Each structure stands twice: as structure tokens, then as C-alpha cells.
Structure 1
Amino acid sequence: MNPCNQCPRACGTDRSQKPGLCLAGEEPLLAKIMLHQWEEPFLTGEGGSGALFFSGCNLRCVFCQNQTISHELKGRTCSKEELIDIMFRLKERRAVNINLVTAAHFTRQLVPVLREARARGLNLPVVWNSSGYESVESLRLLDGLIDVYLPDFKYMDPALALRYSRAEDYPAAARAAITEMVRQTGPLRFQDDLLMGGTVVRHLVLPGHADDSQSVLAWLATTFGHDIFLSIMNQYTPCGDLSAVPELNRRLTAAEYDEVVDYALALGIENALLQSEESQTLDYTPDFSVSEEGLSDASDAN
């Protein structure tokens, strides 16, 4: 783990001494626990997804809606035993899965947590919810521990990845990471309308960049066919200081989103979720001022 090379940044930081480029130290930093109702329907069911939101991020997305945890590092460190206990508490509250959100920079720390939780009888599907900017080497440590991968695929154009996330190598890293994820999970597996295994790729359509969205969808359709599910997202909402990227300081138009959806249909994509314009709001962003929702013994320290 130290020097750290867990993600494509390979910053080489000794995270036991100082934070890496992901802004995180050595111990997992947990920002929020909740029964999440705003994920894809086949991941929430009636009980909700048992989400654990981790702080820190190896990207610098200018349009990030989760700044309080990605860059401001709200949350508290959690031990292996605490994390296992949280997972079982979420199960008791009838979560349909355990959803590890933005945990990629803690991959090596979470592998023994997941192994021990499984050994103690945790039988819920485990979801790995990530930006897609991950190393294949780290993902291979998760082989057999993750049931559902839920990565983003943000950009195909390296220039956009550099401008909007400060990661010119994002497209290459995401393609390699998603390929490894699909190798591990295999085709989609459902039970009673809930996704029990497989890979779901999210793509957020950005204003003015329908052409790049089409490139993303074309690669996914050509590479994986019907073995994955796509979530084509219409929820882009301007937030924060976008003065350096004024082209993103507006909402997505219906025509732009429809252009991307029509292209997906032309590609023959069938396994896809779509969003209405009503999703273009910050109302679906979790409230990170509260560390736990619907669970007892809340604790939070900055």
C-alpha cells in the first residue's frame, strides 16, 4: 500500500504519513451511511441500497456535486470491525445490497473487510460504485468479492478528461477497468427484479458534448453487447464555480439528450435506463451534513 499505487495516478505517496493525490490517508474515511433510494431501480428495490459513502477522490471533476466528501473530506475514519458492523446493520434494516461508493482509493484496505464480512455470513450482493478511474491491478484484488460493478464512463476524448477531470488518461484507464469488471462479473444476473450480479455502466451526458457521449456508447455496445446494462444519465446540473469552463454552466437540453438516446437505439442497445428532465436537480444529492440516515448511533467528526 505504501508507497501508494492503488489507482492510475500511482502517486507513490506514503499515505501513513500524508494524504495521496486522492486526498485520503491510510485509513478508510467514511462520510455517510444510508439506505439509498436514488440508485438505479434494480439496485434499490423496496428496502433501498445499503450505501457507504467514502471521502476522497483521485479525480478533480469541475462539475462534482459531492465536493464536501470528494475534496473537503467530510467524515470519520473507520476500523475494519466498524465497517463490518455497519454492513450487518444495513442488512438488518433490509438493505437489498451493500453499496460501496467512491471506495477505489481504499481498495486494498477494504479487501480484508469484505473477506471477513463474507466469512461471518454477509450474503447480500456487494456493489462497487466508482468513477471508473481505477487500475486493473487493484480491481483484481476484488475478484470474487464484488457482485455488481457500477462504474462511470465519463469521457472518450482525452482532451475532455483533462479539461474537466484533470486526468488525460481517464479514457484508457476506464476502458481497461470496465473490461476487467465485466470479466469478473460475467453477464447480468437478476432475481425478482433485483440485480444480483453483473456490470452497469453510467454515463452522464454533458451539455455540448453529445458527440463524445456517442463515442462512449459505441465503444460499450461494440465491446460488451448485451452483457452489461447502461445508465444514460440526464441529470447534469451546474454547481460550484464553473467560470473556467463556461460551456458547462447550463443544463442539458432535451434535444441533446434525445440525440444521445436515439444514437443508443440505432446501435441496438436494449439494456439501458433513461432519465427524464426532472432529474436535473441537486435534490438527489445526499445530505452529507448528516453522517447516518435511518441508522442509530450516528457519529461524525471532521
Structure 2
Amino acid sequence: MRIQIEELRDRARQAHRLWEACILCGRRCQINRRERAGLCRAGNQAVVASYGPHWGEERPLVGTGGSGTIFFSYCNLSCVFCQNFDISHEAEGEEVDGARLGAIILSLQKQGCENINLVSPTHYVPVILDGLTQAAEKGLHVPIVYNSGGYDSLEILQLLDGIIDIYLPDFKFASDDLGQRFCGVKDYASVAKAALKEMYRQVGLPQLDEEGTAQKGLIIRHLMMPALPDNTLDAIRFIVDEVSPQSWVNVMAQYYPAYRAEEHPPIDKPLSRREYLQVIKQIKLLGPELKLLNGL
């Protein structure tokens, strides 16, 4: 975090004003979240599904203490292939205010976590900023990771400038048509592309400490999906051409047909290793300077 506490307090106040006619994400539903739930189905308190040290993130985020993940319930997308649908759709978890969230953040730091990893944070940014303020007043010092689905409004990202150290967005689809088909929003790609460029403007390429643990920067995730190689290549092409040819990208291979994916061919089957490796070869030709975190 690169801003002072008083500025952080002011950003939290600004975020709450955006909440009154909500434009936190690309849906821009303009619902007064103080009075009722938005299209994301979330109200004016954050719901935390779980939290704790996590060892399954990218290696630069894990270090020796693990990534201090906080999984938030509900979601601003409606992905038919959601692998965490019990959290994003069924909203299991504990309702928290800023004070409780601040205590959770500090508990993760005390456990030795390398960072605070906010998973699916977009629709709760006002409460998150309240929690970060509470934690900062009591000694928060580890990097803050913003781990979103990429469907973030520019207004909310600009409020986060200087607060977020590491952006970890998904870049699911490079075309709005696919976003409409599989995520339930008409402009996923347009919003995500603008968000990626803003995130990169704020934090640039990853910077590591002497132990190889990320302290700042943009790391992009892309989940490769079956029978959609052009989507992956188009996503990589955008990253190389419009973000940075030296971007850090995790092209993930763990797709399987979760939630309602079996109703939506061609993503109604697992991704084959052969298909994955074939596309990775093409990615290396498209972006020879990319830092690929998939280990292949």
C-alpha cells in the first residue's frame, strides 16, 4: 500500500458514495446497495466464505508463509462454468463489517502470510477499504492482492490506485460474444480489457523481493477452455499488444465442466492435455517475451 491512512479513509468514503448508485463493476446496475442487493445479489455488508493461508496460488504469491486469502461470497458475474458456485451463487459465509474484516486481515498477517489476497472483491470494495483502513491503523504492512474476475469498473480501479500492490485478474474471454454466452454479461471483454490496461498502468510488471516473493505488479490469469483455442490466442494477443509483451501470465489447464457447463457445449467436457500443450506452443510464438507461470 503506497498511500497514507488519511487518504485511505477518504478513498473509503468515496467508494461508499459509488455504492449509493452502484457502479463498482461493469454491470453498473446503479442500485442503491445501502437499501437493497445489487445484480450481484450482495447487500451492504461483505460476506466472507473462508480465510486463511493458501498454498495453491502462483509461486511468487505463496513464498514461505502462504498467501493470506479471503474468499468473498457472491459474484458480479454469472459464469455457467463456475468452479466455486457454492460461494459465488449460494453465498455461504459470515457477514462482516469493516472492523471484523480488519481483524481478519491482521490475523492473516500475524500468521506470517506473505500478502492479503482479496478473492472476488469487486462488489465489496467499500467494506474492503473500511477493513484495510482499520488494519492499516494497527500495523498492516504486507502487500495487498486484488484477485478479481476482471469485470471491474474504471472508477473503482482508480479509487484503488496506490492501495493495491498486486493485481491478479482473470481474463476469461477476449470477445464480448463469448462473455455474454458464458458469463451472462454483454460486455465482459470490453470491460476486462480496459481494466487490465488500468491495472498495468498502476502497478506495472511484477517486482519480487530477494526471496522471489511478489511485492508489486500485475499477474494475469487465463483459464484455457476446451474447443476455444482462438479465445486463448486472442487473449494472449491482446495482452502482448495492449498491456505488455513481457506480461506475467498464468495460462491455467484445470478446466472441468462444473456448475451448469454440461448444458453449454463446447465447454461441456474437460480440457485435454494435448489441446493445452498445442495452444501453449502457439502462445510462445505469439509472445516470446511473456513470463508464463504454468511451468511449461
Supply the distance in 1 between the matched residues of 2:111 and 2:162 (Cα, whole angstroms).
25
Residue 58 (structure 1) shift: 1.1
Residue 260 (structure 1) shift: 1.9
Tell me, what secondary structure is at the counterpart of 2:259? coil
Q: Residue type matched to 1:233 in 2?
A: M
TM-score by length of 1: 0.88
Aligned to 1:38: 56
Q: Residue type matched to 2:88 in 1?
A: S
Aligned to 1:285: none
Aligned to 2:261: 242
Supply the distance in 2 between the matched residues of 1:186 and 1:250 (Cα, whole angstroms).
36
Matches within 5 A, 1:158-237: 158-191=176-209, 192-237=211-256
**Contact kept? 2:97, 2:127, Cα under 8 Å:** no
Aligned to 1:284: none
Supply the distance in 1 between the matched residues of 2:67 and 2:30 (Cα, whole angstroms).
34
**Contact kept? 1:225, 1:269, Cα under 8 Å:** no
Matches within 5 A, 1:48-63: 48-63=66-81
Match of 2:46 among 28, 38, 49: 28
Pairing 1:124–2:127 present: no
Aligned to 1:73: 91
**Contact kept? 2:203, 2:217, Cα under 8 Å:** yes
- The 10-residue stretch of structure 1 (234-243 or 149-158) with the greater mean CA deviation from structure 2: 234-243
Residue 33 (structure 1) shift: 0.7
Supply the distance in 1 between the matched residues of 2:289 and 2:264 (Cα, whole angstroms).
32
Residue 263 (structure 1) shift: 1.6
Residue 226 (structure 1) shift: 4.6
Match of 2:131 among 71, 93, 113: 113
Q: Residue type matched to 1:125 in 2?
A: P
Supply the distance in 2 between the matched residues of 1:114 and 1:246 (Cα, whole angstroms).
42
Q: Residue type matched to 1:218 in 2?
A: R
Pairing 1:269–2:292 present: no
Supply the distance in 2 between the matched residues of 1:6 and 1:224 (Cα, whole angstroms).
22
Aligned to 1:18: 36
Residue 111 (structure 1) shift: 2.0
Supply the distance in 2 between the matched residues of 1:212 and 1:186 (Cα, whole angstroms).
24
Tell me, what secondary structure is at the counterpart of 2:261? coil
Deviations 1:226-265 (A, max 9, x none): 5531000001011223343032121111222112211221
Matches within 5 A, 1:245-260: 245-260=264-279
Change in CA separation of 1:265 and 1:105 when aligned onto 2, cut-off 3 Å: same
Tell me, what secondary structure is at the counterpart of 1:21? coil
Deviations 1:15-69 (A, max 9, x none): 2222111110011111101211111011111211101111111111000011111
TM-score by length of 2: 0.89
Deviations 1:173-232 (A, max 9, x none): 001111111111123210111011000000000000011100000110122335531000
Supply the distance in 2 between the matched residues of 1:175 and 1:271 (Cα, whole angstroms).
19
Supply the distance in 2 between the matched residues of 1:157 and 1:80 (Cα, whole angstroms).
36
**Contact kept? 1:198, 1:228, Cα under 8 Å:** no
Supply the distance in 2 between the matched residues of 1:242 and 1:168 (Cα, whole angstroms).
19
Can you give the 5+ residue segments of structure 1 that lack an aligned partner in the other structure? 277-302
Q: Residue type matched to 1:167 in 2?
A: V
Can you give the 5+ residue segments of structure 2 that lack an aligned partner in the other structure? 1-18
Change in CA separation of 1:243 and 1:109 when aligned onto 2, cut-off 3 Å: same
Over the aligned positions, Cα root-mean-square deviation in angstroms equals 1.5
Query: Structure 1 vs Structure 2: percent identity of aligned residues?
Result: 36
Change in CA separation of 1:98 and 1:173 when aligned onto 2, cut-off 3 Å: same
